[in-house]
Amino acid sequence: MKFKMLLALILLCFVSAVSGFGQSAEEIMALPDSMAMAPPAPPSNVRGVDTDNDHGHSITLTWETSPDDGAGLNNVIGYKVFRAESPDGPFIERALIPSGGTGHIDVGAKEKDANDYLPDHVGFYYKVRAITADSLIYAESEVFGPVQSYGQWFNTGRVPVLVFVIFFLFVTLFFIQKAKGGANLFVRRLAGIEAVDEAIGRATEMGKPILYVLGLGTAADIATIASYTILGRVAKKVAEYQTGLIVPCYDPIVMTVAQETVKASYMDAGRPDAYYEDMVYFVTQSQFAYVAAVNGTMLRERPATNIYMGKFYAESLILAETGALAGSIQISGTDEIAQIPFFVVACDYTLIGEELYAASAYLGREPLLLGSLKAQDYAKAAAIIIAIIGFITMNFGIEAFKHLFYVSN
Amino acid sequence: MSRTMIILLALVAIVFAVSWAAKSASLDDQYDDYISRGFLITLAAFLTLSILSFLYKDNPFYKFAEHLFVGVSAAYWMSLGFWSTIVGNLIPRLSVTLSAFFKVPHIEDEYALYILPDKVSYFIPVVLGILLLMRLSKKAGWISSWPLAFIVGTTAGLNLVRYLRSDFIEQVSSTFVPLLVDWQGTGRFFSDFNLYAYGQFVTMLGNWVIFIGVLCGLVYFFFSKEHKGIFGGASRVGIWVLMITFGASFGYTVMGRISLLVGRLTFLFHDWLELIG
């Protein structure tokens, strides 16, 4: 009896060793499923089209899930997407999608030397593989292709932007025409700008120069463009009063435009002889080195008035504090929200954000600028009306109005 | 140069030399190039103190640091511009021979097939750059206005669309907010009242502030009408909203500036003087 029991025990150990000895508990648990697993049905109806509203290098794929995904054998754990330049391959894996997935956007790089490069106007072939827990058991769809990617000239997801551009364009042109026709377009008083003439007069009386800082923006920043107009006005007054003007520049292109602006203003004032190029000069493109140089100028030249108009960053407070220490009247204006507080605390007058743009129109009184300023006001009125309508509709549970303003990337 | 200044300069030179020797000695067992490291740390500390001396008043040490900083940075940015923009970006796309000359890998023209013939798109900035340099000539200086007009015009046009989207459409549509959030009656509102950041009351208050703040802020920036009567009242609320925002922004940024000051003080007291661990 004991011998039989011993023999049975040895036999049991042998069977155990053959079937699963040395494997982890998880592997042993997984084996029966795996061994019993039948291949799933493949995904079907694989389709690919160029991705809409993009710059190319992207193909959108869709497919119908395997009948064994969430039903049937229920053994599909995901899908692998493969791409090739020929229907015969070689196919490269492009994505792994979890079960239930019915699509994938195959986005490649646009640079030719990138590993992930997906050229436009080249036919590609795709297939989708339904995978199971066992890497050897899977089912592949039929190969679909060829499909090409290409860029679109028009992004339909940005229609709201187009509508507003047309609206602004129309309103701007309308008011420019109106201003050209001699209509008196009212612009409310801006204290900061009224102070400019006063500050120039003070500098003339004191026999000290005016320091004009255009900020750290590039020549094409809107704040810098607005600043050119104000600089033109200041330069004209300076030329008329025969006061000194110092314009240290951070950007060489800004310096070039500023030189042209100041030169034109001196000519307008009938004083081309008083203009010399070095009144507008380049310092450096290093932010704090520029600040160090301008601070030094403030304390050595002791300008009567410092005007900061344009794009400013961390240097705003350093400049404005030094100017205050030097005892200058200071007028500032920037659309850089984070820097406005520093100008507010350290300057005598500050043009906040859009006031800077308005100032250029207010000073110039040119039909072009006045017309665009009026158009901006009408745009703001439109924004107020839209905000109120949107607010009301949202509070009545109507989401459709909000969707009108959705802009895709 | 005054006698006082000569004495002061001599004193600073002696302090610099002593500091250099002491710093080099302290780095002796850590680095092989301890003498040059000692010099660089001492120089950095000297320049930091020179710049900070501006807090007292303008002086020769500040002037020295300022001119050194401006000169070095101007040369550095010019050099960087040449090697990264012209040699790094332009030349590899322009010519195989030039790429080989500058020892940079040639890059194929990715736009050649669809828009312009091969390489042509890269000759446009070259031509514009040359035109910009024309301002060095008195006779042909006027030509430089053309590339300037191109730069200003195209970038302003591109920015119009970008700003219209991010600063106008998306901001206006963000004001479409519900006044009552998860509203289940007055009784429930008061029984569940709390001041949690994402709680019902704070979310509703935030929505009210957004809506009224945006509307009044827009009114403040309306230039075609005098700010009188109701319009003036709304405008005053707008400027209050702006000022509260600026105050918060000011405090936040000052904290950042203090961390910069702490960085410089740490350099002086830890890296240079080794007074703190």
Q: Supply the DSSP string of B5-71, one letter for each residue.
A: HHHHHHHHHHHHHHHHHHHHHHHTTT-TTHHHHHHHHHHHHHHHHHHHGGGT---HHHHHHHHHHHH
The residue of B79, B173, B204 whose CB has the most chain A CBs within 10 angstroms, and thus the best one to mutate to test that interface, is B173
Give domain status of residue A239, yes or no: yes
Among A328, A348, A365, residue at a domain's last position: A365
Q: Is the domain of A142 the same as that of A203?
A: no
Q: Is the domain of A125 the same as that of A48?
A: yes
Locate the chain A residue with the closest alpha carbon to B256.
A314
Q: Is the domain of A78 the same as that of A199?
A: no
Structure token digits, residue B107:
């890059």
Domain encompassing residue B233:
177-272
Give domain status of residue A69, yes or no: yes
Give domain status of residue B67, yes or no: no
Higher model confidence: residue B180 or residue B203? B203
Mean pLDDT of A25-29: 43
- Predicted local confidence at residue A16, as pLDDT: 47
List of residues 6+ apart from B168 with CB closer than 8 A: A164, A379, A383
Give domain status of residue A253, yes or no: yes
Among B57, B75, B102, residue at a domain's last position: B57
Residue with tokens 């990715």: B110
Q: Is the pLDDT of residue A9 over 60?
A: no
Report how far residue B222's alpha carbon sits from residue A377's, in angstroms, rounded to the nearest whole number.
6
pLDDT in tens, B26-72: 888 888 888 899 999 999 999 999 988 888 888 888 899 999 999 99
Q: Is the domain of A119 the same as that of A196?
A: no
Residue with tokens 């026999």: A207
- Predicted local confidence at residue A373, as pLDDT: 86
- What average pLDDT does the structure give for chain A? 84
Residue A30, min C-alpha distance to chain B (Å): 45
Domain encompassing residue A101:
44-147
- Predicted local confidence at residue A281, as pLDDT: 93
Q: Is the domain of A71 the same as that of A209?
A: no
Among A365, A380, A403, residue at a domain's last position: A365
Give domain status of residue B155, yes or no: no
pLDDT in tens, A347-379: 999 999 888 888 877 776 778 888 888 888 898
- Predicted local confidence at residue B118, as pLDDT: 65
Contacts of A159 in chain B (CB under 8 A): none
- Predicted local confidence at residue A36, as pLDDT: 56
CA-nearest of A211, A237, A233, A227 to A323 is A211
b/e code A276-286 from CB counts within 10 Å (16+ = b): eeebbebbbbb
Q: What CATH code is carried by the domain that includes residue A138?
A: 2.60.40.10
Report how far residue A397's alpha carbon sits from residue B5's, in angstroms, rounded to the nearest whole number.
77
CA-nearest of A320, A280, A328, A272 to A300 is A328
The residue of A372, A380, A392, A401 whose CB has the most chain B CBs within 10 angstroms, and thus the best one to mutate to test that interface, is A380
Q: Which of A46-60, A174-188, A357-371 has the lowest mean pLDDT?
A: A357-371
Handedness of CA A319, A320, A322, A323 (dihedral sign): positive
Give domain status of residue A39, yes or no: no
Give domain status of residue A409, yes or no: no
Q: Supply the DSSP string of A225-255, one letter for each residue.
A: HHHHHHHHHHHHHHHHHT--EEEEESSHHHH
Give domain status of residue A241, yes or no: yes
Residue B15, min C-alpha distance to chain A (Å): 25
Looking at residue B104, its amino acid is V
- Work out the pLDDT band at B161, boundaries 50, 70, 90: confident
Q: Is the domain of A217 the same as that of A338?
A: yes
How many domains, chain B? 2
Mean pLDDT of B217-246: 90
Q: Is the domain of A219 the same as that of A274?
A: yes
Q: Is the pLDDT of residue B201 over 50?
A: yes
Locate the chain A residue with the closest alpha carbon to B51.
A292
pLDDT in tens, A255-297: 988 998 999 999 999 998 889 888 999 999 889 899 999 999 9
Q: Is the domain of A141 the same as that of A261?
A: no
List of residues 6+ apart from B28 with CB closer than 8 A: B34
How many domains, chain A? 2
**CB within 8 Å: B70 and A358:** no
Among A97, A122, A147, residue at a domain's last position: A147
Q: Does B64 touch chain A (CB under 8 A)?
A: no
- Would you tell me which residues 232-251 of chain B have a C-beta closer than 8 angstroms to some C-beta of chain A? 242-243, 245-247, 249-250
Give domain status of residue A380, yes or no: no
Q: Is the pLDDT of residue B143 over 90?
A: no
Give domain status of residue B106, yes or no: no
b/e code A151-162 from CB counts within 10 Å (16+ = b): beeebeebebbe
Strand, coil or helix: B95: coil
Q: Of A161, A225, A388, which has the smallest distance from its Cβ to B152's Cβ? A: A225
Structure token digits, residue B226:
């005098």
Among B57, B76, B103, residue at a domain's last position: B57
Residue A156, min C-alpha distance to chain B (Å): 14
Report how far residue A148's alpha carbon sits from residue A204's, in angstroms, rounded to the nearest whole number.
69
Give domain status of residue A375, yes or no: no
pLDDT in tens, A56-111: 889 999 999 888 888 888 888 899 999 998 888 788 888 899 888 889 999 988 87
Looking at residue B56, its amino acid is Y
Residue with tokens 């003007």: A245
Looking at residue B160, its amino acid is L
| Percent of chain B predicted with pLDDT > 90 | 21
Mean pLDDT of A108-125: 84
Mean pLDDT of B6-32: 89
Report how far residue A266's alpha carbon sits from residue A248's, in angstroms, rounded to the nearest whole number.
18
Query: What's the complex ipTM?
Result: 0.77
List of residues 6+ apart from A405 with CB closer than 8 A: A160, A386, A390, B169, B170, B172, B173
Locate the chain A residue with the closest alpha carbon to B109.
A112
- Predicted local confidence at residue A34, as pLDDT: 47
Give domain status of residue B170, yes or no: no
- Predicted local confidence at residue B18, as pLDDT: 92
Give domain status of residue B62, yes or no: no
